[in-house]
Structure 1
Amino acid sequence: MGRAVQRRLVGLTAVVAALGMTATLSGCGSGSGDGDVTLKLVAADYGTGAENSSEKYWDDVAGKFEKENPGIKVDVSVYSWKDVDRKVAEMVKAGEAPDIAQIGAYADYAKAGKLYTADETIAIRTSANFLPSLTDAGEVGGNLYGLPFVASTRLLFYNKGLFAKAGLGAPQTWDDIRNDATALDKRGVTYPFALPLGQEESQAETLMWLLSGGGGYTDEAGNYAIDSEANIATLEWLKDNLVGKKLTGPVPPGKLDRAKAFDAFTDGEVGMLNGHPTLMQEAEKKGVQVGMVPLPGVDGPTKGSMGVADWMMGFKQNGHRVEIGKFLDFAYQDDNVLAFADQYDLLPVTSSASAAMEADDKHKSLHEFLSALPNSQLYPFGKTSWAQASETIKERIGSAVEPGGNPESVLVDIATKARQAESAE
């Protein structure tokens, strides 16, 4: 389990005292007006070890911020993704909420009235710079509470070497996927199409396929539509054309986690799967030539891809509204946004940083993902019921496509529980 990585930065208290000065900050609430203020920031670790821990990034950002803002200190704690959401929930429950959290969900805290809105903290130039598709997902009741921190999109990856040996071109439709997978299977490829519907991240794999079939988790009005006819048809196609024809490899999709599927791809054992930028880098390091296309749909490439975003938020408890805003404005400057995205092969969430990455040939490998981001569709993050709905999807969706499975009954069950959770809000 992840261990909190903490550091405490020393501010300019001694200097101020020596000069006989008192730092005065405008703001509201306790701690915002007299003397030094310490902001508590809790962030997720995107690294794979001590060498590339996100602690180093936040150390740098916090240090630079303190130099520009005498009187404001930053206390950073970085936790693993397995722990960070739980840690923040425990802190809030204990009445010790951080001032700023960079985690995976915000809606529960917003609905409970614990968060500042963007209008109360950050400058207009900062909020206006966010990509619209991401800010839409950060709103509750028409107010922006969840500030997008980093994003990613998904594309269909295929092993160019395996495709070339089989004489195949990049797939464009569902029929292409089935036919290509059949050809790869005949050549002994272990996973012609890897379909990770295990509990690790099956809500993402599912959404990609639902979008490619013209559906999704919600309708245009934002209401749950998990059991729509389009979604049922999509899972029935997967069950009959990939799983039923034994084209998804030796591990049943409901037992296959994303990490195992990604490892198999980098080992050259997978013909096709849905992937993100980090997988591209890891595969190429191991000599796998990666082809990428938008996820094929029934009649051609899917118009909208799936997007993923993580969030920043400011908590009201300590009353540090002004100081929180200053730090967030600083954190969202282009150099900081690009530094983080560059380190972890992720996508920036602001228009200006996205434009800078698009213009830089150093990031050419990410350009296809960047172009997909503005039209991407994210999870319904603004619903406090989404966390429960997501867990139900993780638990049940694999059974929908297994031999003898019933996609319609599984989707109806998931949708019923999601709507019950929604009505209970």
Structure 2
Amino acid sequence: MQRRVRTRTIAAVSALGLAAVLGGCGVGGESSDVTLTLVAADYGNGAADSSKKYWADLVDRYESGHPGVTVDVSVYSWNDVDRKVKEMVDAGDPPDMAQIGAYADYASQGLLYQAGDLLSIPVQADFLSQLSTAGEVNSVQYGMPFGASTRMLFYNKELFKEAGLTPPTTWDELAECAEALKARGVTYPYALPLGPEEAQAETMQWMLSGDGGYTDVGGTYGIDSTENVETFSWLRDELVGKGLTGPVAPGKLNRAKAFEAFAAGEVGMLNGHPSLMEMAEKKGVKYGMVPTPGADGPTSSTLGVADWMTAFEKNGHRDEIGDFLDFVYSEQNVVAFSREYDLMPVTNSASRAMSSSGQDKELKPFIDQLPLSELYPVGKTSWAAVNAEIKKRIGEAVEPNGSPAGVLGGLQATAVRAENAG
């Protein structure tokens, strides 16, 4: 099928006033044939590494080879980006593209282009298969993975050496290590962040390590499964109940604070993603990484997390959007983004390039895990409501007198209601 309309005149100044950031100045008073708008999340920690710089470089390179197409990018923090896009959609003025945390609600409303109507066949086929599948609603891909990460157990090498410990491979070994670290005065022998910031991640990682998960093999919610109840009962009785998770109640401890404490040398062990490596290195903390311990051995499947690129149909421009996204997902650009923000590449070609490069040796353990990872059930429109309730309630399951069966049962009821409402 013939597509990819090529426009002819020179791009004009950005309609959203971002010319100073992204370039695209007009020449001779001419206006662009097509202006594409993109709202994107900021993966940086400040002005020095803001995603604005990544997009500015990428867009400059794209526009220089595609006269007649202007791409205007607005970058928002993760605290604001999903809300901003929702406000734009509710106002009837969605961006052409949005790089955000979820896609299923917009897909279910019939607002998004299918990935296959945008991307060339080689580009769509290059996505890691489980990420493509996670981007589907009713077996049709709408969400295009943009950045991904997995989890490993980080441990403080110096604290372990002082206590004569080796990294754990099972829950029992993890508890034994935590006991030894507590005896030596370590503030957080095992940091268990079940606070509202990212409780859904720690929760799913522990569920997977106990052979459970949010859904069963058929994709039906099984939050209160026997395996999940046993996992959280073990956490309550063997870690939290024995004072091995530190001075802050897990339900009050957020992931960011747990990472900060690890980088300060106050944590013996915790589940972490690649950004923790740089945090620890900057503070001089020597760390090791191993697969997350499971009930009887290393966990065979880890948590995978992906963010999503979406494209809205409202303004048209299907061919121009598709051509731009083909460029975004080129091996060169995926590798550059992944390296800049310590994220896993979402394509096979970029994964091969980074796995074989000595430059990315520290990321390789995470890259190797990604094909076997399991993602949140993001293709369900009910996930947003379930996710929000997990963040509110899961910490109660591991309180000294908490009821894992009761809390998980309540979350399951929320999931069922949300599914029926959808």
The interval holding the TM-score normalised by the smaller chain is over 0.9
Alignment counterpart, residue 258 of structure 1, candidates 242, 255, 258: 255
Q: Could you tell me which residue of structure 2 aligns to residue 47 of structure 1?
A: 44
Q: Percent identity?
A: 60
Question: CA–CA distance in 2 between the matches of 1:423 and 1:200?
Answer: 27
1:163 equivalent in alignment to 2:160? yes
Q: Could you tell me which residue of structure 2 aligns to residue 273 of structure 1?
A: 270
What is the letter of the counterpart of residue 227 of structure 2? A
- Cα deviation for residue 387 of structure 1 reads 0.7
Q: Could you tell me which residue of structure 1 aligns to residue 221 of structure 2?
A: 224
1:332 equivalent in alignment to 2:343? no
User: 1:116-135, aligned counterparts within 5 Å?
Assistant: 116-135=113-132
User: 1:10·1:73 contact (CA, 8 Å) conserved in 2?
Assistant: no
- Cα deviation for residue 325 of structure 1 reads 0.2
Q: Could you tell me which runs of 5 or more consecutive residues in structure 2 were left unpaired when the two chains were aligned.
A: 1-15
- Cα deviation for residue 170 of structure 1 reads 0.8
CA 420–114 in structure 1, closer or farther in 2 if over 3 Å, else same: same
User: 1:13·1:36 contact (CA, 8 Å) conserved in 2?
Assistant: no
1:210-258 per-residue CA deviation (whole Å, 9 max, x = no partner) reads 0000000000010101010000000000000000000000001011111
Question: CA–CA distance in 1 between the matches of 2:17 and 2:220?
Answer: 41
Q: Could you tell me which residue of structure 2 aligns to residue 7 of structure 1?
A: 18
What is the letter of the counterpart of residue 360 of structure 1? S
Question: CA–CA distance in 1 between the matches of 2:361 and 2:338?
Answer: 14
User: 1:6·1:77 contact (CA, 8 Å) conserved in 2?
Assistant: no
Alignment counterpart, residue 77 of structure 2, candidates 52, 77, 80: 80
- Cα deviation for residue 263 of structure 1 reads 0.6
Q: Could you tell me which residue of structure 1 aligns to residue 360 of structure 2?
A: 363
User: 1:403-418, aligned counterparts within 5 Å?
Assistant: 403-418=400-415
1:379 equivalent in alignment to 2:390? no
User: 1:6·1:78 contact (CA, 8 Å) conserved in 2?
Assistant: no
CA 6–236 in structure 1, closer or farther in 2 if over 3 Å, else same: farther
Equivalent position SS for 1:198: coil
Q: Could you tell me which residue of structure 2 aligns to residue 27 of structure 1?
A: none
Q: Could you tell me which residue of structure 2 aligns to residue 60 of structure 1?
A: 57
Q: Could you tell me which residue of structure 1 aligns to residue 203 of structure 2?
A: 206
Q: Could you tell me which residue of structure 1 aligns to residue 107 of structure 2?
A: 110
| Runs (4+) off by over 2 Å | 8-17
Question: CA–CA distance in 1 between the matches of 2:297 and 2:183?
Answer: 25
Question: CA–CA distance in 1 between the matches of 2:139 and 2:249?
Answer: 42
CA 199–162 in structure 1, closer or farther in 2 if over 3 Å, else same: same
| TM-score normalised to structure 2 length | 0.94
1:298 equivalent in alignment to 2:295? yes
Structure 1 vs Structure 2 CA RMSD:
1.4
- Cα deviation for residue 14 of structure 1 reads 3.9
What is the letter of the counterpart of residue 383 of structure 2? W
Q: Could you tell me which runs of 5 or more consecutive residues in structure 1 were left unpaired when the two chains were aligned.
A: 23-34
Q: Could you tell me which residue of structure 1 aligns to residue 318 of structure 2?
A: 321
Question: CA–CA distance in 2 between the matches of 1:313 and 1:326?
Answer: 14
CA 266–13 in structure 1, closer or farther in 2 if over 3 Å, else same: closer
What is the letter of the counterpart of residue 228 of structure 2? N
| TM-score normalised to structure 1 length | 0.93
1:233 equivalent in alignment to 2:244? no
User: Aligned residue pairs: how many?
Assistant: 405
Equivalent position SS for 2:289: strand
Question: CA–CA distance in 2 between the matches of 1:344 and 1:310?
Answer: 13
User: 2:178·2:190 contact (CA, 8 Å) conserved in 1?
Assistant: yes
